[in-house]
Chain A
Amino acid sequence: MKRDLITSALGVIVLTLLLGIVYPLFITGVSQVAFPGNANGQKIYVDGKLVGSKIIGQNFADLVYKNGKVVMVDGEPETTPDPHYFQTRPSGTVPADNDAATEFENYGPNSTITKAALVANIQAYIALDKAPDGTPYYPGGLTAGKVPVDAADTSASGVDPEISIANADIQAYRIAAIRHLPLATVHQLISKYTLGRGLGFSGEPGVDVLEINLALNRLSPSTR
């Protein structure tokens, strides 16, 4: 018994040093040297300013002002999607969240609340596709049945950096019209910034939204 106590105490202390300090320092240290870009989160700078991480989704939205003041809802600034940019997937985390928390939305499969949230997301997606005069950018207009599932369903991490190609293809009409770009150019950007499947088969391809939006800005600076 006494022997076990001594060995346990020594063992836990030594192994804590070895596995809790030495091991993470070793992995992190070598990674910092070997893959500094990845290890630090694939940061993207524009004109020396940090604008985000390549693999963390962000909210391409504008703050809503009323009487010169930012409108606040539940302590968070209210935002409206900026039609000049490809929009990321709906999420509970992204909208102007100022803390680092990521969370699941946890919408159940058989819930009326889920249905209501989906309907709201679908309507927002369709509304964004409409020009100020009410005509849709997407040929023939969008209906719920044409909205890709990833554009209505919330992501898991809340910071999904990608959208499906179908989703990007629909938004391309809006982007091309607002930015006065040929549709073909936008499509070229979509294929350029599509991240393929892992090893060619694992997972689904997706368009990196931050990267394509930055490319758009380089091509035709946002009109704002």
Chain B
Amino acid sequence: MIRFEKVSKTYPGPGKPALDNVSIDIEKGEFVFLVGTSGSGKSTALRLVLRESRPSSGRVYVAGKEVNRLAGWKVPRLRRQIGTVFQDFRLLQNKTVSENVAFALQVIGKSRSEIDKVVPGTLEMVGLEGKGDRLPTELSGGEQQRVAIARAFVNRPMILIADEPTGNLDPTTSAGIMKLLGRINETGTTVLMATHDEHVVDQMQKRVIELDHGVITRDEARGGYGSQVV
């Protein structure tokens, strides 16, 4: 589903490359944690999957397509197959929960009737039934992240990318979010999550890829946050 072939990424200016000859192969339906310290290259890897930037060398494949060779006008189509969740939720504060979720469908041209059919079900799935009319400011951090996940998942993407989704949440709320991501993964969606959250990685016991200064130092099928296999 996601494949990096000897990918390097160097940003302008002096310093080491953000990614250095990285090769990763993630199968359809896998749940993968991308761990490492700040500056290890996690976010760069996610940006390459989303075609927010292009590799300096090597190839990135997403859903069978080489994304760095994708024409600009085809990029939106690629992104419709990828849901994205961030640490800071990125919700539109002037829109209600339902409107935030519906927005993702609206802007890709889905019909009103289709939106009305899909949004309530998605809100129910993420545990926000009955809260569709609330504004994001009326919700807790965990609930806001659930809205962001609903928005990312409402189009039923093949891949869900999560960049530090529990970074702003307490351990209990984080556990709820991880449970939700686990359920999404069970529907067949491939989940790639960059995180610093030791606790959730240890608890989930999924595949862990560790990056250090742009180089893969560990790729374990069922691992924890640290180097030890739990």
Chain B associates with chain A: no
